[in-house]
Amino acid sequence: MANAFCARILLAGTLIAVMNMPLAAPGQMPPPPTDQTPTPAPAPSQTSAPAREAPGAIYKDALHPLAVVRSSLANWSEAELAALAAGMQKAREACDAAKPDDFQGEDLYDLAHLCAFGQDWNPANDAAQKYMASKVQAHETQAMAISVNALAHIGAIDLALNTTFGLLQFPYDADVAYTVRYMKDTLEHAGSLKALTLAREEHAAIVQALSQPGPLNAAGSDATISTGALYASAMELAFFNRFAGDSDAAAAAAVDADTALEKLTAISAEDQQEIDEVRTQYRLLGTHLPIVHSTRTLQSTSAKPRIDTNFGKATVLVLFSDWCIECRELVKTMTKFAAANSNTPIHVYALLYSEDSPALGAGKVLHAENEKYMAGTPTLEVPAQTARTFGVVDYPLGVVLDSSGTIRFIGVLPRDAFERNGYVEKVLERMSKMSKPNVH
């Protein structure tokens, strides 16, 4: 499913110390800053809503392209990258020179943040662990969150998971929710069934939180999660169960999340929009690919602008808007993946759409840049309506079809999704195992 905890400022493990919340898995866009609600792509509400879209929702939608562009280091200027590198270097040097035993209380907690910002993960974990052992409760959950991220970055996934299970023993707040979401996505991208185990362990707590009015706040920080984003995280259990072939358990998890929402007397327009988009994606699982109209292909002038209805062993679609430069970068490895699997065959297409007319100012520039950059790649230009068809929340959205054209997977892809042994390969392997009959 699409990850509603889209990045707003945290970047591939660099700014955890600034935001005091967990990072996303490598290549995945992490949680929003604490002063910003996740902003989904425009889509009509499927439930009762005002005749006019609320100004607040329009404002958030208008800022969404800028937020996503800023979320990728690939889009930063040389001056911004230099400033970030200088700050990280200073933090790392200070972290290397410090000894956690020389600090206590707030200073020890700040040291953990400092080391994390410098991407000095072992010292970051040491400082966080010592803070936790000191039994100081002011930032206990945040220190555990730092430890989880540090352990994941050094490859100690089992320890990170055990720490996350421990975190679930605390009152369920925004810091806990962000950390659990991070671990669920990390495990899912690694192809681990422990993602499902963790989602099950979290389920009762997140459903209870979802039934409470207003955003979920943190007890020890200013982190907050909107109702729409919390629903998206709760629905991961339904998606994971579907991916594992347990439709009954998936349906039960979805009912739990929807029943929790029924207890709310009011849901904001932007939250309802995100909820509707998640529901759209969930309902697409197990259905045949909707009709996708393509206006042209960038592969060649002679190629037909269409998705081959002979879906091969599998077909992978990658949908994104033309302003998502990071998504455009993914097309490079996507094209190599398609070539490497052409004999299988596994078909791969990028579905590129524009939210504005290419004839208008910046839109025209983007259009020309994309056309030049992705020339010769299996990229199809599609109408903006396609994003609504697939319930796009964040980018790049991956949709994987089996040989019959049935949707078996839908969700946001990390930037290394098409690398060797990457997420796409793991999704395809899982699909292959699910299609084989059980032998008794």
The span from the CA of 396 to the CA of 423, in Å, is 13
Residue 94's pLDDT is 93
- The total of other beta-carbon atoms located within 10 Å of residue 429's CB is 12
288, pLDDT greater than 90: yes
Mean pLDDT on 291-316: 94
- The total of other beta-carbon atoms located within 10 Å of residue 294's CB is 18
The span from the CA of 22 to the CA of 266, in Å, is 29
Q: Who wins on pLDDT, 275 or 435?
A: 275
Candidate from 176-190, 352-366, 423-437 with smallest mean pLDDT: 352-366
Q: What are the CA-CA distances from residue 422 to residues 188, 428, 434 (Å)?
A: 11, 10, 19
241, pLDDT greater than 90: yes
Contact indicator for 381, 298 with CB cutoff of 8 Å: yes
Q: Where are the alpha helices (DSSP H) in 7-54?
A: 16-19
* DSSP result, 69-92: HHT-GGGS-HHHHHHHHHHHHHHH
Residue 322's pLDDT is 87
Residue 16's pLDDT is 35
Q: Who wins on pLDDT, 45 or 244?
A: 244
Residue 273's pLDDT is 93
Task: Give the angle 373-375-381 at the CA atoms, nearest 5°.
Answer: 95
Mean pLDDT on 27-49: 38
Q: What is the pLDDT of residues 3-20, one digit of tens each?
A: 333 333 233 333 333 333
26, pLDDT greater than 60: no
Candidate from 77-81, 234-238, 315-319 with smallest mean pLDDT: 77-81
Gyration radius of the chain over CA positions: 22
Q: Residue 228: pLDDT band by 50, 70, 90 thresholds?
A: very high
16-284 has which fold?
1.25.40
Contact indicator for 115, 95 with CB cutoff of 8 Å: yes
For the chain, give every domain's residue range: 16-284, 296-435
Helix (H) or strand (E) holding 425: helix 423-435
Q: Residue 93: pLDDT band by 50, 70, 90 thresholds?
A: very high
325, pLDDT greater than 50: yes
The overall average pLDDT reported for the chain is: 84
- The total of other beta-carbon atoms located within 10 Å of residue 193's CB is 13
Residue 15's pLDDT is 38
411, pLDDT greater than 80: yes
Residue 138's pLDDT is 87
Structure tokens at 431: 């699909």
Structure tokens at 262: 């029924």
Q: Residue 324: pLDDT band by 50, 70, 90 thresholds?
A: confident
Q: Which amino acid is at 423?
A: Y
3-state class (DSSP) for residue 59? helix
37, pLDDT greater than 80: no
User: Could you tell me how many residues make up the chain?
Assistant: 440
Q: Residue 438: pLDDT band by 50, 70, 90 thresholds?
A: low
Structure tokens at 76: 């930063």
- The total of other beta-carbon atoms located within 10 Å of residue 310's CB is 10
Residue 81's pLDDT is 81
Q: Residue 56: pLDDT band by 50, 70, 90 thresholds?
A: low
Q: Who wins on pLDDT, 419 or 79?
A: 419
Mean pLDDT on 341-367: 78
Q: Residue 382: pLDDT band by 50, 70, 90 thresholds?
A: very high
Q: What percent of the chain has pLDDT over 90?
A: 68
259, pLDDT greater than 90: yes
Q: Who wins on pLDDT, 223 or 76?
A: 223
428, pLDDT greater than 90: yes
235, pLDDT greater than 50: yes
296-435 has which fold?
Glutaredoxin (3.40.30)
Q: What is the pLDDT of residues 98-132, one digit of tens each?
A: 998 999 999 999 999 899 999 999 999 999 999 99
Residue 272's pLDDT is 95
